[in-house]
């Protein structure tokens, strides 16, 4: 049985969020069903899911784009667009890159048009994939606001866990952020599967990004119904500097939480 910490719930965040599935309910369901990976969809999403992004200007421009098994799914992207609309982040960190970077950076710019200049930082372990993303950003007109970092992963230890994380130094990261702290984080990397993936590597996101996050910065983790990500969610909920709100049942599952800066409390 997992025992979760109970840090104070940021009311301004919780009131603006949609209904979510509490993490322990999701974990109990997974345990009850028994079969490994049973909550994680392996088949491709229903084509009707694309209707959630029917009016998105990026997909109109990138009409030749085809979603792959590695892409963030349309319903998850539509949910994140709604969250951008609700919370209006000014500085975003995305771990992993792709169609999500193009859609969300464009939406972020539209939200802040005539206001402030938003900043969007991505970290990708694949130079080839980052190049594809860069091409999409140039086509949709947000390459100037997105700072892309390409960094292979390497072994690290954090919060008593040995795992893997991007090999990028603090100075380079701070420079990409332009002296700001992020108020929203999207965790869709490092790669957890395949020949170069490390299962459970996304755990390091919160401990190793703490210095770059604003108090009550929201975080969203994709693939959150996958077994290793369920375990990460439970581990994050046990950290005294994080609050996990729960899961949104879109795409392959999106976990929602926020960082709590003790110094700000």
Amino acid 43: pLDDT: 85
CB 226 within 8 A of CB 37: yes
CB 98 within 8 A of CB 72: yes
Give me the average pLDDT of each 10-residue run along the chain (265 residues): 48 86 95 94 91 95 92 97 96 97 97 90 95 97 97 95 94 93 96 73 96 96 96 96 96 97 77
Residue identified by tokens 């390459």 is: 143
> In terms of DSSP bridges, do strands 213-221 and 182-187 run parallel, antiparallel, or are they unpaired?
parallel
- DSSP-derived 3-state class of residue 247: strand
For 11-264, CATH number out of 1.20.1250.20, 3.40.50.150, 3.30.413.10, 3.30.450.40 equals 3.40.50.150
Residue whose C-alpha is closest to residue 74's, from 97, 108, 57, 50 = 50
Amino acid 193: pLDDT: 62
Structure-block tokens of residue 182: 């992020």
CA distance readout (Å), 158 to 48, 164, 183, 207, 246: 41, 10, 22, 7, 23
CA-to-CA distance for 145 and 110, rounded, in angstroms? 12
Cβ atoms within 10 Å, residue 260: 20
Q: Using the 8-state DSSP alphabet, how is residue 143 labeled? A: T
Amino acid 18: pLDDT: 93
CA distance readout (Å), 101 to 58, 63, 232, 257: 10, 16, 23, 20
CA distance readout (Å), 64 to 26, 60, 136, 214: 36, 9, 11, 37
Prediction pTM value: 0.94
Longest Cα separation, the chain? 52
């Amino acid at each position: 049985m997992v025992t979760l910490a109970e840090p104070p719930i940021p009311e301004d965040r919780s009131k603006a969020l949609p209904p979510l599935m509490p993490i322990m309910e999701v974990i109990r369901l997974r345990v009850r069903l028994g079969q490994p990976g049973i909550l994680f969809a392996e088949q491709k999403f229903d084509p009707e899911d694309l209707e959630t992004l029917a009016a998105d200007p990026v997909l109109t421009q990138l009409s030749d784009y085809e979603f792959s098994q590695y892409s963030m799914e349309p319903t998850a992207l539509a949910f994140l667009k709604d969250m951008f609309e609700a919370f209006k982040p000014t500085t975003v960190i995305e771990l992993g890159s792709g169609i999500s970077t193009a859609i969300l950076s464009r939406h972020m710019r539209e939200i802040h048009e005539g206001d402030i200049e938003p900043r969007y930082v991505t970290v990708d372990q694949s130079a080839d994939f980052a190049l594809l993303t860069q091409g999409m950003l140039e086509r949709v007109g947000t390459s100037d606001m997105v700072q892309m970092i390409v960094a292979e992963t390497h072994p690290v230890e954090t919060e008593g866990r040995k795992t893997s994380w991007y090999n990028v130094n603090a100075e380079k990261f701070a420079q990409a952020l332009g002296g700001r702290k992020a108020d929203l984080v999207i965790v869709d990397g490092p790669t957890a599967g395949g020949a170069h993936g490390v299962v459970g590597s996304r755990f390091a996101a919160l401990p190793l990004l703490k210095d770059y996050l604003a108090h009550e910065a929201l975080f969203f983790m994709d693939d959150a119904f996958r077994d290793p990500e369920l375990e990460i969610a439970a581990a994050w909920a046990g950290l005294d500097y994080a609050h996990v709100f729960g899961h949104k049942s879109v795409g392959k599952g999106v976990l929602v939480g926020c960082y709590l800066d003790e110094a700000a409390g």
